[in-house]
Homo-oligomer: A and B are copies of this chain.
Amino acid sequence: MNMKPAGTLVLTRRDVAALLTIDDCTSAVERAFKMHGEGKTQPPGVLGVHAADGGFHIKAGILDLDRPYFAAKVNANFPQNSTRFGLPLIQGVIVLCDADNGYPLAVMDSIEITIQRTGAATAVAARYLARPDSQTLTICGCGNQGRVSFRALHNLFPFKEVFAFDLDHAQAKTFASDLSGETTAKVIPTLELEEAIQRSDVIVTCTPAKQFFLKEAWVRPGTFIAAVGADSEEKQELEPTLLSRGKVVVDILEQAATIGELHHSIDRGLMTKNDVRGELGEIVAGRKSGRSSPDEVVIFDSTGMALQDVIVAAAVYEKAVSSGLGQLIHFGG
């Protein structure tokens, strides 16, 4: 039943972080992928606006959950923000609405949700595409996304070693010391990326790299790679031949073919969209098979799907309402 809403809930990043656990987030994101794979969603929309030193990206979509929700995420991406303004690289808000009547239910900070829903997609993909007996993980890029990826993954696999790699080695060391207490695995900061990759069963790349650094020759059979960093045309982390050698699963085919790792392999004539095994949602929904042998290299090309934002924003909102967190604003008043 729809009641006339009491107002719009304003939730800060701190509120969102207090309400969201990575495991809840992973369950929610898996559900969104499943609905997408079952054809129960309409195609989400994206819109980009270029600015002088960065850009704005809007992702919007609707999901029919226990009630129908619409969310639009407005994210700003300004690469030089830290040095120029002391501001984060990515900033933004999500507007969550009741999709029955359009009422703006909440306006919330987008950063925590963006980071966590991305880590959650990595975990969902790994659950379906990595070898269950995976023992070694390498995280490339030890920022927030690296941390969340680790937290989303470490309970899913019997990891014994986790390599932490970052061009800024101090970051890798901090990562290792911060996260060692959260896992029984050994977390090892490393400068020897080639060696770490050669020993890894699961690899997450979540850097801002614009030239690939993960070489095909380093990757052993059976590895699962979540390629998370590339979410715009000019970003790239994986050698293009690595994708054509392995099996590629994407979050959204059109998007991956335009702004993901996939587009570099297509540009070089190494692959076409037909060479992609499928969308993650199709695999979660059981419409396509995931890993077909323990020797396959499987790559998940993660570009970010609006429906991830919708479902996680809805979960945060519902938790905020039931726990009384956030501030109520009467926008129309």
Chain A: residues with Cβ within 8 Å of the partner, total of: 59
Question: A321 contacts the other chain (Cβ, under 8 Å)?
Answer: no
| A49 and B61 contact, CB distance less than 8 A | yes
CB <8 Å contact, B103 and A87: yes
CB within 8 Å of B: which A66-86 residues: 68, 70, 72, 74, 76-78, 81, 84-86
Let me know if B85 and A72 touch, CB within 8 A.
Answer: no
Q: How far is the CB of A195 from chain B (nearest CB, A)?
A: 38
For A76, give the chain B residue with the smallest CB separation.
B102
Question: Contacting A333 at CB < 8 Å: which of B12, B53, B68, B92?
Answer: B12
A74 pairs with B95, CB closer than 8 A: yes
State the CA gap A200–B275 with chains docked (Å): 64
The answer to whether A193 has its CB under 8 Å from any CB of chain B is no
A62 near B49 with CB under 8 A, answer yes
Complex interface residues of chain A between 8 and 49 (CB less than 8 A to chain B) = 8, 10, 12-14, 42, 44-49
Known interface pairs A45-B49, A47-B60, A51-B62; A84-B104 also in contact (CB < 8 Å): no
**A329 contacts the other chain (Cβ, under 8 Å)?**
yes
Please measure, in the bound complex, the distance between the C-alpha atom of A242 and the C-alpha atom of B314, giving whole angstroms: 47
A93 contacts the other chain (CB 8 A): yes
Report the separation of the CA atoms of residues A85 and B102 in the bound assembly, to the nearest whole angstrom: 11
Interchain CA distance A53-B97 in the complex, whole Å:
14
Residues on B with C-beta less than 8 A from A100 are: 51-53, 78, 85
Which B residues touch A226, using CB under 8 A? none
Known: A12-B332, A13-B331. A72 touches B51 (CB 8 A): no
Is the C-beta of A311 less than 8 angstroms from some C-beta in chain B?
Answer: no
CB of A3, distance to nearest CB on chain B (Å) = 9
Asked whether A78 and B49 contact (CB < 8 A) given A4-B85, A10-B10, A111-B332, the answer is: no
Contacting pair B91 A329 (CB below 8 A): no
Q: Is the C-beta of A286 less than 8 angstroms from some C-beta in chain B? A: no
CA distance A45 to B57 in the complex (A): 11
Given the complex of chains A and B, what is the CA–CA distance between A104 and B91 in angstroms? Answer: 8
* A54 interfacial contact with B, CB 8 Å: yes
A268 at the A/B interface (Cβ < 8 Å)?
A: no
5 contacts between A and B (CB under 8 A): A12-B330, A56-B62, A76-B103, A91-B103, A93-B331
